[in-house]
Structure 1
Amino acid sequence: MAAYFIRRLLLIIPTFIGITIMVFIITRFVPGGPIERMIAQAQQMQSMAGGTLTGALSKEQSQPLSEEQIKELKKYYGFDKPVLISYLLWLGKVMTGDLGVSTRYYDPVWSMIKERIPISLYFGIISLFLVYSVCIPLGIAKAIKHKSSFDNLTSIIVFIGYAIPGWVVGVLLLVLLAAHWEIFPLGGMVSDNFEDLTVIAKLLDIIRHTILPLIAYMIGSFTVMTFLMKNTLMDNLSSDYVRTAIAKGLSFKKAVFKHALRNSLIPIATSFGNNVSVVLSGSFLIEKVFNINGMGLLGYESVVERDYPVVLGILVISSLLFMIGNILSDICVAIVDPRVRFE
């Protein structure tokens, strides 16, 4: 098994290079990069300065930067070198922990990401814990009480939550519970007077700011996990080994929890590791609605603003987490299913 996981860890290297070089090449050929944005800003500044409408000035306004200035900008942002050489230089910096500098805020990329990781981790870990805590018991109960009123009612509730986008739920919660009834705050992570509160008051303030975004995050996450648990458990309950155990005198409860349940957790364990990267990704729409500066909103804004160093920095972290998550999935499967032997 150790040799298998060593091979998997070594495969991270070529996979990481393949993912990053593909995105790096795309960022070099997609229009609207930092240089084009600076030219547009210079044109806007000239327009606001009130240039005349003569043909000569109009021609000059169409290209406010000289060729020497554009060459200096290309050199500064690394666009003056071939793509492969630029990628190797960028990869060398990444290996030393340098993710570059944002072309929009001119701050180090790692410091921008580091500020938002705790927020995304906070919501991601709580959401992951609550989803598994609710979906697994709910799926077991639905499988045992298949076609009952409880099964039908919970199916309706879960599908309604799955059909409504999380950000729509967030807007409705803000309008009703925050703006209309003023039970919860309108957004953000803490109140304006957070520093003046006591420790218990700070904890309660964070909880009040967490509830609405957490509901919006989780509203659509129950369906797949719940029905995966239910259907897998129903398949195992109809298997020969469970029917044989019951026929030999084993109670139905013990047949479920000692035999069928462990085999039913295998698909759940397979997808567990993949959720590691999802924990940090967040949802930019929900973060936008609740004014939360998480990783999702940072990634969305960096793509829209063509802030390529931030895009690549987030890609580095998310791709590594996703590949490590796949290895964690294999470990979880080996723990749940003793028949699995990685050779």
Structure 2
Amino acid sequence: MLNYIFKRMLSAIPFMFMVSLTVFILIQLPPGDFVDSYAAAAASSGETISPEKMADLRHQFGLDRHILIQYFYWIGGIVTGNFGYSFEWQSPVKDLVGERIGLTLILSVAAMLFTWALALPIGVYSAVKRYSIGDYFFTFVGFIGLAVPNFLLALVMMFIASKYYNQDVTGLFSPEFQSADWSLARVYDLMHHLWIPMIIMGAASSAGLIRILRANLIDQLYMPYVVTARSKGLSEVKLLIKYPVRIALNPFVSSIGWILPNLVSGAVIISIVLNLPTVGPMLYQSLMSQDIYLSGTILLVVCLLTVVGTLLSDILLVILDPRIRLEQ
């Protein structure tokens, strides 16, 4: 196991290098650069920027250098902990992304735990009691969860919380805790605002996992090993937990590889609607303005989460399912 983990960590280094190069090139493929975007925004407000000023800005930001020189300047800084400078925010990327990454991970893990807590018991019930009224009900609700856009669910929940509970559900903090230092009061305020985005982001994932778990568990319930264990007098609850449910949980564990980066980068619209201080809206804005170092860093972090999540899911799959052997 340790040998496998070490090999995977070593193989991740050239992979991340290739991803960083690909991301950096793709960000700069659209015509123009940040200075052009800045000049267009200024022109829309009635301000004119001279070509000389634009040339000075490009020289100041290093945008007049070759793309490979810009890349190696950026990637060399990352090795030493310098993630570059955000042109739009006029601030180091590390300072901008630091707390947002932490809040995004907290929200992502909370949504993932909510997804598992909701999908696991419902999926098991639907498989064991298939074609029952409860199974049909959860199937119907699951299809609604898959069909309703998350941003629409966010708007509905915002309306309900505001009208019937007199609660402001936008953002992750109250105004007095927006820029405050971390304390127990700020953590409590975060938990008070966390439940609505957690439910919204976990709803669609729960609906999909319920269907997957139900189908996998139905396949396992009639396997010969289950019939043999049942004939030997093993109780139904112990039988379910020890054998078929354990095998059917593989999709839950394997979902770690994609659910973390998906929650980070795939919930941009929800974050904008709910005004969440996560990296999603910042990534969207940095791509629109071609803020290369900021957007490149965020995309690199998303890719790193994919690598880490995939490694964790592979290790947990071995622990969960003894039929899998990583060394082979």
TM-score scaled to structure 1, two decimals? 0.85
Q: 2:164 aligns with which of 171, 177, 181?
A: 181
Distance change >3 Å, CA 204–CA 10, structure 1 → 2? closer
| Equivalent-residue separation in structure 1 for 2:257 and 2:133 (angstroms) | 34
- What pairs up with 1:49-198 in 2 under 5 angstroms? 64-66=50-52, 69-178=53-162, 180-193=163-176
The answer as to 2:238 corresponding to 1:254 is yes
Q: Could you tell me which residue of structure 2 aligns to residue 275 of structure 1?
A: 259
- Offset at residue 312 of structure 1 (A): 0.5
Contact 2:145 2:203 in 1 (8 A): yes
Q: How many pairs does the alignment contain? A: 324
| Greater Cα offset, 226-235 or 113-122 | 113-122
Q: Which runs of 5+ in 1 are unaligned?
A: 49-60
| Greater Cα offset, 318-327 or 271-280 | 271-280
Distance change >3 Å, CA 253–CA 36, structure 1 → 2? same
Distance change >3 Å, CA 177–CA 39, structure 1 → 2? closer
Distance change >3 Å, CA 90–CA 333, structure 1 → 2? same
Distance change >3 Å, CA 120–CA 169, structure 1 → 2? same
Identity %: 29
| Equivalent-residue separation in structure 1 for 2:196 and 2:3 (angstroms) | 46
| Equivalent-residue separation in structure 1 for 2:119 and 2:139 (angstroms) | 12
Deviations 1:151-186 (A, max 9, x none): 0001111211221111101112222331x3353215
| Equivalent-residue separation in structure 1 for 2:286 and 2:167 (angstroms) | 30
Contact 1:269 1:333 in 2 (8 A): yes
Deviations 1:318-340 (A, max 9, x none): 11121111111110111111222
| Equivalent-residue separation in structure 1 for 2:24 and 2:68 (angstroms) | 9
Contact 2:27 2:296 in 1 (8 A): no
* Structure 1 counterpart of 2:34, one-letter code: P
Deviations 1:302-322 (A, max 9, x none): 112222111111012111121
Q: Could you tell me which residue of structure 1 aligns to residue 300 of structure 2?
A: 316
Contact 1:190 1:205 in 2 (8 A): yes
Q: Could you tell me which residue of structure 2 aligns to residue 238 of structure 1?
A: 222
Contact 1:284 1:300 in 2 (8 A): yes
- Offset at residue 293 of structure 1 (A): 1.5
| Equivalent-residue separation in structure 1 for 2:318 and 2:187 (angstroms) | 39
Distance change >3 Å, CA 81–CA 143, structure 1 → 2? same
- Offset at residue 218 of structure 1 (A): 2.2
Distance change >3 Å, CA 204–CA 37, structure 1 → 2? closer
- What pairs up with 1:205-244 in 2 under 5 angstroms? 205-244=189-228
* Structure 2 counterpart of 1:275, one-letter code: I
- Offset at residue 121 of structure 1 (A): 2.4
| Greater Cα offset, 290-299 or 83-92 | 83-92
Q: Could you tell me which residue of structure 2 aligns to residue 53 of structure 1?
A: none
Q: Could you tell me which residue of structure 1 aligns to residue 274 of structure 2?
A: 290
Q: Could you tell me which residue of structure 2 aligns to residue 329 of structure 1?
A: 313
Deviations 1:106-139 (A, max 9, x none): 1111111112123212322211111111211111
Aligned with 2:11: secondary structure? helix
| Greater Cα offset, 305-314 or 84-93 | 84-93
Deviations 1:28-62 (A, max 9, x none): 331242121243356557x55xxxxxxxxxxxx7x
TM-score scaled to structure 2, two decimals? 0.89
Contact 1:282 1:295 in 2 (8 A): no
| Greater Cα offset, 108-117 or 244-253 | 244-253
Contact 2:142 2:208 in 1 (8 A): no
| Equivalent-residue separation in structure 2 for 1:24 and 1:254 (angstroms) | 52
Aligned with 1:221: secondary structure? helix
Aligned with 2:103: secondary structure? helix
Q: Could you tell me which residue of structure 2 aligns to residue 300 of structure 1?
A: 284
* Structure 1 counterpart of 2:231, one-letter code: A
Contact 1:274 1:329 in 2 (8 A): no
Q: Could you tell me which residue of structure 2 aligns to residue 12 of structure 1?
A: 12
| Equivalent-residue separation in structure 1 for 2:313 and 2:213 (angstroms) | 17
| Equivalent-residue separation in structure 2 for 1:104 and 1:181 (angstroms) | 40
| Equivalent-residue separation in structure 1 for 2:185 and 2:42 (angstroms) | 49
| Equivalent-residue separation in structure 1 for 2:30 and 2:184 (angstroms) | 50
- Offset at residue 21 of structure 1 (A): 1.0
| Equivalent-residue separation in structure 2 for 1:147 and 1:126 (angstroms) | 32
